[in-house]
Amino acid sequence: MIYYSNSPLETPHMTFIGRWSPFHNGHKAIITKKITENPLLPVLILVRHTLTDQYTASARAMYIKQWMTDQHIKGTIMIIPNVEGVYWGRGVGYKTEPVSVDEAITSISGTDIRRRMQDKKSSWHNLVAVPESAYLLTPAVSSIVEQGLVVWLTGCPSSGKTTIARAFIHHVAATYPHLKTQLLDGDDMRATPVAAGVGFSKKDRADHILRMAYIAKMFADHGILVVCAFVSPDRRIRMKAKKIIGKNRYIEVYVRASKSTRMKRDTKGMYKQAAKGALQNFTGYNAFYEAPKKPDVLCDTDTQDVSSCVTAVSSRVFSRSTSHTSDSAGRNK
């Protein structure tokens, strides 16, 4: 599978094959040396699809792409099946030869780097090819790149969902700049054709949330971190949304605030309208809301500021244990 290419495929390439787990300074030196010797030839980097590495083949390919882009290197990256060996007959038409480099380069060990990473030693960052993009090699980010993730914020109106969601996306953009994100916000989505004719009855709310879950799933299927901010008052419907998205890539964040706090924040005056009887079926006042029993993250905005809420969500998203195998709702099934 071609992951990335910026050169004509019919042009002869210098080929390098490996796990690149991780792509480190030794790998970089070998490829750079051949580019120096043959500056007109693009490179072909074959990434073996292994399931035993800490991070996925897609994350490894993305990391190498970042290096190629930064260094303006011409070539192609392909993700290939894991290989047992490389065989050829006579007259294959291309060379197979080792690249001779200094002993200091050959001594760099991917196994040693992976051990340092598992031990959470900071010294490993300087051994990989692009230290500033080393976050791509962490298990949590690698998993998002491979199968996506949905962070679902639920809570009563004016509890702080949209504010936290936007602040979290801003944090991700600043900390993990190559990780793609998408915000699905309740008010914004209600104003789109996707929600045309959808009211606020219990059935309409349920149908709307399930539509949003399908949209979130489609984004996640493309390796995107999706942040959803919906009141989504019905616990049973949230569980259906989780099933649609896939339980292994769904994180539920309960944004909680007291009624008095929500009324103080209500810039639209909806609580005042509900109090006067002018607004019916308003969640948090005259319509039900079922709080999560065991949310993955609880943000109590009566006592926590936006920054601490973002830290709590980020910690859950980027410190979680992950698996490279997509669940039943994932794109690989």
- Other C-beta atoms closer than 10 Å to the C-beta of 7 total 15
3-state secondary structure (DSSP) of residue 124? helix
Which of 67, 102, 137 is a domain's end point? 137
Lowest mean pLDDT among 120-134, 190-204, 243-257, 267-281: 267-281
CATH code: domain of residue 126: 3.40.50.620
- Give the active site residues: 232
Q: Which of 102-116, 237-251, 311-325 has the highest mean pLDDT?
A: 237-251
| 69 domain-assigned | yes
Res 257 pLDDT > 80? yes
Residues 120 and 201 in one domain: no
b/e 249-271 (16+ beta carbons within 10 angstroms → b): bbbbbbbbbeeebbbebbeeebb
Residues 314 and 216 in one domain: yes
Helix 139-147 with 306-318: angle, nearest 10 deg: 80
Checking DSSP bridges between strand 2-5 and strand 75-81, what pairing results, if any? Answer: antiparallel
Q: What is the pLDDT of residue 80?
A: 97
| 177 domain-assigned | yes
Confidence of residue 270 (pLDDT cuts 50, 70, 90): confident
Beta-carbon-side half-sphere exposure of residue 275 (alpha carbons within 13 Å) = 8
Q: Over the chain, what is the mean pLDDT?
A: 89
CB 153 within 8 A of CB 164: yes
Residues 25 and 159 in one domain: no
**Higher confidence at residue 296 or residue 200?**
296
d(CA 250, CA 242): 6
**For the residues 316-320, what does the mean pLDDT come to?**
87
Residues 88-143 have pLDDT tens digits of 887 778 888 889 888 888 888 888 888 888 787 668 888 899 888 888 888 899 89
Residues 126 and 148 in one domain: no
Confidence of residue 271 (pLDDT cuts 50, 70, 90): confident
| 328 domain-assigned | no
**For the residues 24-28, what does the mean pLDDT come to?**
95
Beta-carbon-side half-sphere exposure of residue 15 (alpha carbons within 13 Å) = 14
**For the residues 195-207, what does the mean pLDDT come to?**
86
b/e 131-150 (16+ beta carbons within 10 angstroms → b): eebbbbbbbbbbbbbbbbbb
Residues 70 and 208 in one domain: no
Residues 210 and 63 in one domain: no
Q: What is the pLDDT of residue 321?
A: 56
CB 122 within 8 A of CB 88: no
Residues 210 and 271 in one domain: yes
Nearest to 299 by CA among 154, 150, 181, 149: 154
3-state secondary structure (DSSP) of residue 5? strand
Confidence of residue 328 (pLDDT cuts 50, 70, 90): very low
CB neighbours of 229 closer than 8 A, spacing ≥ 6?
A: 153, 161, 162, 164, 165, 183, 184, 185, 186
Residues 261 and 284 in one domain: yes
Res 210 pLDDT > 90? yes
Share of residues in the chain with pLDDT > 90 (%): 61
**Higher confidence at residue 32 or residue 121?**
32
CB neighbour class for 36 (10 Å; exposed up to 12, middle 13-18, buried from 19) = exposed
Lowest mean pLDDT among 107-116, 289-298, 305-314: 107-116
Res 61 pLDDT > 70? yes
Res 298 pLDDT > 50? yes
3-state secondary structure (DSSP) of residue 42? coil
Residues 133 and 265 in one domain: no
| 199 domain-assigned | yes
CATH code: domain of residue 209: 3.40.50.300
- Contacts of 112-116 with C-beta under 8 Å, sequence gap 24+, read 113/22, 113/24, 114/21, 114/22, 114/53, 114/54
**For the residues 253-280, what does the mean pLDDT come to?**
84
Written as one letter, the residue type at 179 is L
| 253 domain-assigned | yes
Tokens of 10: 């019919």
Q: What is the pLDDT of residue 37?
A: 95
Domain housing 212: 141-318
Q: What is the pLDDT of residue 122?
A: 63
Residues 154 and 209 in one domain: yes
Residues 107 and 158 in one domain: no
